[in-house]
């Protein structure tokens, strides 16, 4: 009874979602969803428990389906090693540290993998500025489709970089980089599959004035070269507006408008 009351009193409620409209020859609804989430997070000296139980309503089918994270994180059970068990973002390339939720211009995982969260176990550790992540997880529990990833990298205050390997139905290598300089934030990755598919992603962001987040991006998704310009502004605490322009191979711009709400 005491444990039950402890969990109840430490739960918090969160609502977020988005509504996106694109225009390319015609206006159409690109994606929309509402996430009702119950959150629980308790950080002990040696253990972190994180539960995110989402109830998602989609107005149309869209890639950004949000499953939520549910995991336990054992901190340093063996020296500098940490163990995570549950559902979480796979530590592959930019997914190790790049926040993708609500972004209109997504990294290469969207085009090559088609997923970002798996259920399984991950082991991470460090030696000074050097870090590593090993992940074995399942993308589909019904078919027991397994995923293995390995990432070796450097993690400093103003620079991060790593080399990743992923084995799924295909095998992938990826190189990722994050560089902070003054007000500028650069994220990039190069992805190569063993069946000769290649992808490049770069996003360069900064906040010049009026708390107006500005981002310039380039992506080659294996088929098309795409240039992107995206701006974002928080109107009030619960409303965020995003506008982007994608320059497509047919030399036409595709404007994108998105309203995000967070409670």
- Which pLDDT tens digit goes with each residue over 24-42? 677 777 778 787 788 888 7
Q: Are 69 and 49 a contacting pair, CB within 8 Å?
A: no
Token reading at 198: 């290649």
Q: Are 35 and 59 a contacting pair, CB within 8 Å?
A: no
Residue 60 pLDDT grade (very low, low, confident, very high; cuts 50, 70, 90): low
Distance CA 126, CA 132 (A): 6
- pLDDT value, residue 198: 94
The answer as to whether 6 is a domain residue is no
Token reading at 190: 């190069």
Residue 6 pLDDT grade (very low, low, confident, very high; cuts 50, 70, 90): low
- pLDDT value, residue 10: 66
The answer as to whether 39 is a domain residue is yes
Encode burial over 170-200: b for 16+ CB neighbours within 10 A, e otherwise: eebebebbbeeeeeebebbbbbbbeeeeebb
Helix, strand, coil content of the chain in percent (nearest 5): 5, 65, 30
Distance CA 213, CA 7 (A): 37
- pLDDT value, residue 47: 85
Residue 128 region, left (φ>0) first, then alpha (ψ -120 to 50), else beta? left
CATH of the domain at 58: 2.40.160.10
Residue 153 pLDDT grade (very low, low, confident, very high; cuts 50, 70, 90): very high
Domain that holds residue 94: 11-262
The total number of structural domains in the chain stands at: 1
Q: Are 199 and 176 a contacting pair, CB within 8 Å?
A: no
Strands 239-247 and 47-58: unpaired
The answer as to whether 4 is a domain residue is no
- pLDDT value, residue 217: 95
């Amino acid at each position: 009874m005491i444990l039950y009351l402890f969990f109840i009193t430490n739960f918090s409620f969160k609502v977020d979602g988005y509504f996106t409209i694109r225009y390319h020859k015609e206006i159409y609804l690109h994606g929309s969803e509402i996430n009702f989430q119950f959150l629980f997070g308790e950080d002990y000296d040696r253990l972190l428990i994180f539960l995110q139980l989402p109830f998602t309503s989609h107005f149309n089918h869209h890639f950004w389906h949000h499953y939520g994270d549910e995991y336990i994180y054992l901190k340093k059970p063996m020296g500098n090693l940490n163990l995570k068990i549950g559902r979480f973002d796979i530590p592959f390339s930019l997914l190790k540290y790049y926040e993708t939720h609500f972004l209109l211009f997504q990294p290469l995982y969207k085009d090559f993998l088609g997923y970002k969260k798996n259920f399984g176990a991950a082991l991470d550790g460090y030696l000074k500025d050097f870090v590593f992540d090993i992940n074995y997880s399942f993308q589909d529990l019904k078919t027991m489709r397994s995923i293995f990833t390995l990432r070796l990298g450097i993690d400093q205050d103003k620079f991060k970089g790593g080399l990743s390997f992923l084995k799924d139905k295909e095998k992938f290598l990826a190189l990722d980089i994050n560089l902070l300089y003054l007000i500028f934030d650069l994220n990039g990755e190069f992805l190569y599959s063993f069946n000769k598919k290649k992808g490049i992603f770069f996003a360069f962001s900064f906040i010049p004035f009026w708390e107006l987040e500005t981002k310039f991006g380039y992506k080659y998704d294996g088929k098309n070269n795409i240039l992107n310009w995206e701006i974002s502004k928080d109107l009030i605490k619960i409303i965020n507006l995003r506008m982007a322009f994608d320059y497509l191979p047919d030399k036409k711009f595709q404007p994108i408008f998105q309203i995000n709400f967070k409670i």
